[in-house]
Amino acid sequence: MRDGPAAALSIVDQLNTRPTLQRYHLLPAVRADLLAKLDRTEEARAEYQRAAALTANEGERRTLLRRAAACTS
Residues 6+ apart with CB under 8 A from 49: 64, 65, 68
Kindly list the domain boundaries of the chain, sorted by start residue.
5-70
Q: Is the pLDDT of residue 73 over 80?
A: no
Q: Say how many C-beta atoms besides its own lie within 10 A of residue 44's C-beta.
A: 24
pLDDT tens by residue, 2-61: 899 999 999 999 998 999 998 999 999 999 999 999 999 999 999 999 999 999 999 999
Q: For the whole model, what pTM was predicted? A: 0.91
Of 2, 48, 45, the closest CA to residue 25 belongs to: 48
Signed CA dihedral, 60, 65, 14, 38: sign only:
negative
Supply the pLDDT for residue 39.
95
